[in-house]
Structure 1
Amino acid sequence: MGKDMIYGIKTGDMAVFNNAYLNYHKPIYDFVFYKTQSDFIASEVVQLTFIRLWERRTALVDNLELNIQLFGMARQVMIDQLRKEATRFRYNQQSDQHPFTDNLMNMIESKDMLKQFEQEIAAMPPIRKTVFNLSRNNGLSYAEIAEIMDISTKTVESHIGKVLSRLKQYMFNILF
């Protein structure tokens, strides 16, 4: 189903695209709502993610599951939307309308640290990077990652532990 769906979307088949929307709009909404606690942001991200999917359909990767690619797009769209909300907040100073904005401001202000973390992760072995990205960026459980990558959940847990350990060490070296 996954590769056929990717092929259909890449070739502009609207029925396949609509099917992808029906299958994935709720999981994406739930993922974004969990992260932001905002119905508005979650709804916007779902719509913009599928617009992005259609606009960039020819760039889809054939051998990577559609859900992984969609959640990656959704994550990036969510970050973009949160940045817009933060900018809007700075100008309007209406924090009571968006209670998550204070945490968002801290998150955006630490984007330099996040870039450093991304560089640290990029330097890790490929399987460790993939496991970590599937967990943190796509919100997949250890069991889902284990199934996708055909490895044990203990192996997934080990990779995640090693990434987190390396990031903690990196932070320790910066702070002390």
Structure 2
Amino acid sequence: MENQATRFQEIVLVRALKEDDEHAFRMVYDAYFERLVRHAYSLLHDESRSYDIVQDVFLDLWNRRQILEVKRSLAAYLHSAVRHAALNDIKRLKVHSSKLDALVHLLAGFDVAADERVQLKQLEEGYRQEVAKLPKKMRSVLLMSREEGLSHHEIAERMGISKATVKTHINNALHILRHKLSSFSMLLLYLLFG
């Protein structure tokens, strides 16, 4: 009987979501958020990334609310969405890691002469100068992301801005740097952060 009651409640919540009911969304968020974070953590073993994944799943739920199709149950739908997003995140990190490994391997194969070391130092200095010219908030977000390794969620909390604003600052910063730096510099940035 309890299962039928829960299923009925989910049907009512999904119908309310489709009708843009923010209170229904808040109820779903409150009911499932912590469970979904634990589920993501069981796959990722990273608390910050787990929170980011679940936040993105809820953002997607709200954005797609009017076309939402829940076949079994809302809980199963949300757990499946988190699992899918976590597995995509793992794949993305593996690709990033393999790019970094390839770059390290490539650079290790070179016998870096003194003049090449000077060029690499100049390249790094050029990058630092261009980053220093970025608007203050954009520069802070970029440095927290790239040098401190903070997630978008952590940066948003630290700066008191939304995750969407964090993403916008990073994208804008990379766009500016792409126009200011050489192709080789951008290749290195892509290999390291792409």
TM-score w.r.t. the length of structure 1 is 0.49
Structure label with greater radius of gyration? 2
Whose RCO is larger (CA < 8 A, sep 6+)?
Answer: 2
